[in-house]
Amino acid sequence: MPNHWTLVTGMYEEDHGIIANKFWDPVWNKTYQFSTESEWFNNTEPVWITAEKEGKKTGAYMWAGNEATYDGQTASIVIPFAYNAEFEDSMEVVVQWMAEEEVDFACLYTDQPDSDGHKYGPNSEEVKERIKAIDKVLGKMMDEFDTRGLTDEVNILIASDHGMTDVNSSKMINLGAYIDFDADIEWSYLSAIGLIIPKPGNLDEVYTTLKDAETTETHMKVYRKADIPDDLKYKNNRRITDIVLVAEPGWLFAKSATYKTSLLGNHGFDNKNSDMKTTFLARGPDFKCGYTQDAMRSVDLYPLLCELLQLETCHSSRGWTNNTQNLLSIEPCIPVAGGTVISSTVVPIFTLIFFLTTKLI
């Protein structure tokens, strides 16, 4: 969830405030958990609202936060998230938006191969088969754009909000061996990171206990909020808890030795780990053909979208246009119609995310 909002705002979690899939707001005294209410998303304007304000028509398909209003507005067309939606059906609707509804910008999220990756593991045969199936749908989408004469009119950007790494129930960090959750902890969220709010007056004791545990639990790092490394961009927000735990990639936090995860794949680990990285693909009239470059960051996508949509009132962001400028074509480049954009070889891409924009005038 956090990176969904990063992709459409160009801001880090500590800026936009969606700091995890579940978190506590100490001022509102409320827990967020995959909520869709506007108040949680109102800190930073998403690109579709800016586009709407500038007279563009936008659509947001199953995108986290798309139902939330910002300054009383949403995208012109909003399709709420639904589990197990058929990707092919979703894609057909979005192609129709671009072809018939005169939509200038569309974003689409699908929860595969993320769901299969969690269930079967990122390197499983099931995930490979799912990627092949998705590849076929993408090929059909390209053909559809070609049939409708839109191949040189629509830019297609394919991204993901995370990679994925293998996890299993033998790699659990049992925090219950060190702290009593009932007696010492007010609120916690445990996954690849641990967000810990000790009971009033317990902060120093809980921190010292967990810090001491680092010597035996070598697969975790324990931080006081003030000491969270700056490169994580995860500190300056009231929702980030006073104690933050970071698991080594592949390890998960648990409250007790009896808790066993059913997952075989997960994400949310430090993004310096190569398994957390993912793929970005783009094709269309405003992109170079056959060009590859070094990694860009999730925050860099927002200024690129602003440029493709020729928006004049985008807010300043943490993204750099230097990281995406070279992707854009100087000379007109007409992509070859049809075909596939992802080969049947497995690429580390999880949860497919699409942005479509009409071409620059």
Number of residues that bind Zn ion (CB under 5 A): 1
Sign of CA dihedral 84, 87, 274, 15: negative
CB of 87 to Zn ion, least distance (A): 16
H helices within 54-173, ranges in order?
Answer: 87-100, 114-120, 125-147
* Binding map of Zn ion across residues 58-97, x = CB under 5 A, - = no contact: ----------------------------------------
> With binding defined as CB under 5 A, does residue 275 bind Zn ion?
no
341/151 Cα distance (integer angstroms): 13
229/48 Cα distance (integer angstroms): 32
What is the number of H-type helices and E-type strands within the chain?
A: 11, 16
Closer residue to Zn ion in complex, CB, 105/109: 109
Q: Output the six-digit token pair for 138.
A: 């993408």
* Binding map of Zn ion across residues 329-358, x = CB under 5 A, - = no contact: ------------------------------
Q: Output the six-digit token pair for 64.
A: 């986290």
- Selection from 80, 23, 70 nearest residue 238 by Cα: 23
Closer residue to Zn ion in complex, CB, 191/317: 191
Question: How do 252-254 and 172-174 pair as beta strands?
Answer: parallel
Using only C-alpha atoms, what is the Rg of the chain? 21
Closer residue to Zn ion in complex, CB, 141/276: 276
Q: What angle do CA 42, 45, 51 make, to 5 degrees?
A: 140
Whether the CB-CB separation of 273 and 249 falls below 8 Å is answered with yes
Closer residue to Zn ion in complex, CB, 114/217: 114
CB of 267 to Zn ion, least distance (A): 6
CB of 356 to Zn ion, least distance (A): 23
Stretch of residues binding Zn ion (CB under 5 A), selected from 109-117, 219-227, 234-242, 256-264: 109-117
Closer residue to Zn ion in complex, CB, 83/290: 83
Closer residue to Zn ion in complex, CB, 21/174: 21
Closer residue to Zn ion in complex, CB, 264/314: 264
3-state secondary structure of 244: strand
Determine which helix (DSSP H) or strand (DSSP E) holds 38, and give its type and residue range: helix 38-41
CB of 161 to Zn ion, least distance (A): 8
- Output phi, psi for 201, to 5 deg: 85, -5
Q: Which residue of the chain is nearest Zn ion when measured via CB?
A: 114
CB of 339 to Zn ion, least distance (A): 29
Stretch of residues binding Zn ion (CB under 5 A), selected from 9-17, 54-62, 112-120, 208-216: 112-120
Stretch of residues binding Zn ion (CB under 5 A), selected from 5-13, 62-70, 111-119, 310-318: 111-119
Q: Note if the bond before 113 is cis, omega within 30 degrees.
A: yes
Closer residue to Zn ion in complex, CB, 114/144: 114
Closer residue to Zn ion in complex, CB, 265/335: 265
- Selection from 250, 243, 242, 255 nearest residue 181 by Cα: 255
CB of 269 to Zn ion, least distance (A): 12
CB of 195 to Zn ion, least distance (A): 18
160/156 Cα distance (integer angstroms): 13
| Contacts to Zn ion from residues 113-132, by CB under 5 A | 114
What does the binding site for Zn ion look like in residue numbers (CB under 5 A)? 114
